Chain A
Amino acid sequence: MAIVAQSSKFSIYGRPVLAWGVGLMFFFPIFWMVLTSFKTDADAVKPENLIFFTPTLENYLNMTENYDYWRFARNSVISAVSATIFTLFVSVPAAYAMAFNPTRATKDVLMWMLSTKMLPAAAVLYPMIFLAKGIGLYDTHILVITVLSLINLPIAVWMLFTYFKEIPKDIIEAGKMDGVNTWGEIKEILVPLAWGGIASTALLVFIFCWNEAYWTVRLTTIDAATLSKLIEGNRAPEGLFFGRLSAVSTAAVGPIVVLGWFCQKQLVQGLTFGAVK
């Protein structure tokens, strides 16, 4: 009983404080970034203007006029959306096959897929660049979409596999008896039943694709460059322009933060699925 009493005291006072503390800690950099984006580059580095300053939209106007923000944004949308669709197109059937028609190798295949995430990206960077240039795909949408899909496939398959495992096998078998073929099983039964899981997987993959920088920065120059590249490009050689950099960063992460905000429930469910039941 003592344990219960202790934990309830903690849950009344401790937990909210802890939660707010952690929350603010995570939120602060974003808050600071947004705040700085409204300062001039000069104000951004002056200690006396830390909190109080004259807000300006100069950085934002500058960005759209000088750096062609909309082109980078369009590229980000094209690559993230296409990569998400492609990833789902491959991972849904893959997870379906492994969840409902497992073989002895299924577990090994799943582990192998996960193991590719443990490979340091730097190890394959130069082969990738040479390969991309060799076949003439460097700085193209196709390359970015392919790479983004490949790096996210393991996560997508794993997430969907866990969701599909929750669907009783009987229902799929009833479908077989009712005259459904494999594609019909996926379309008529699996997708409607696992809709929540597929949506959270899609959302997560989309966020990962949008935020991906390591590959997009290195495999693109102009034509297929995404917002990550825009941020990178503002790390100007003549020094850091914090105001400008903050504005670019805010504009780059803004859409995804808004999207995440509206889909919080789905996201949390997706990330904790299987862990808590």
Chain B
Amino acid sequence: MNTKDIKIIEPGFYYYQKEDFATIKLGFRFNFKPSKKNCLIADLLCDYMNRCNGKYHTLKEINDKCRDLYAADYAVRSKRTGQKHYIDFNYTMLDHKIIGDNFFKDAIDFFKEIMFNPLFKDNKLDSKTLAKIKQDMYDDEKEANLEPAEMQYRYFLKSIIPKSNIVKTNFLNLTELVKVLNEITDEDIINFYYELLKNYSRGWCFGNLSDEEINYISNTFKFKTSNLQKDYFHLDEIKEGYKEIKDKETTQSYLYMTYAIKDYKPEEVVLYDAILSMLNSSMTGLVLKVLRQELELVYSASADFFTMRGIIYITAKIDKKNKEKCIEGINEIFRRLHDKKIITKLLKYHKEKCNEIYISNKDNISYYLGNFTSYVYENEMEEDEEIKIINSLKVSDILNAVNRMELKNTFFYRGDK
């Protein structure tokens, strides 16, 4: 991706013209203030806007219209990155020039209905739809609460950052979920929506559009942008120590070892991504090499990196009897991360791989879109710049970075079935 190809149509609204693809894509992001209640309101609002609006009252009507517009596809989703909470409105439509049927304006106007015309009648939501959404949410959570593979991850997150809203719904207890759901009124949701529209972050469109078409889009979606800071970033205090949870419903156990990066800054993401790659690459990465190939303890294990929180963890699905061996294995992985010879080899591999990906991904829509949206929303550097930094990394940089990683928390979800 080259930032020179990106045009700023309005402050906070970007356009990346690419002629190679069949679809046109649009996205708009709005921030909201995080709280347990707000997160739940955001989830309810998204679901509500996905299911109905002032013009198309039912999901069937919306989906029929989508199909009439050659499989137009929209999504309203509540998300979080670091400590930032936001709602994304995303839309994909087929480039009408490919089909030879000019439905462009109709398709844009349809997305406008989704965004600007929620079904709020007499300051009320449609009670049946809302009740259904709440019931579905409750049913999903009830099911998730019985699913060890889902719950173990939530308990892990809760064990390392107990006060954070990092867990999507943040409700490990169904009674609490019902209580907060019942507290939320129609007015809360409506007020939240109008407040949300005031907190526009950024918007973008991607594809092969004429000047007239791009003007039509920017005139349809006019927002005042707030000043975008790198406020996605947030260093959390990780709870130190060891925690174990037993589950009699599964034979599968899960081990997590979590490391905090001292004085981490988001611009160091490339450096720690390199370490993650050294841990994770499928055949050369240290995690599977030690835990699977050498110790034969696991089938599945990996490392993950919360780039906006400065946290790296290693997780392994294991048999409960192998816990100590697995902990020792992960410690061994970190001993090897201090070995200059090993680092030299792994860093060389990482650089070569990144360079190959850099060349080979250039005909891939996900590559362009991913880089473009990261650039728009998070001011992330463009790939050309990133590859230069990757190529300049030295073994000493990696060793210094590893030395700043400190084991803080060990979490064991013990399958006792």
Q: Do A and B bind each other?
A: no
Which residues of B line the A interface, CB within 8 A?
A: none
Which residue numbers of A lie inside 8 Å of B, CB to CB? none
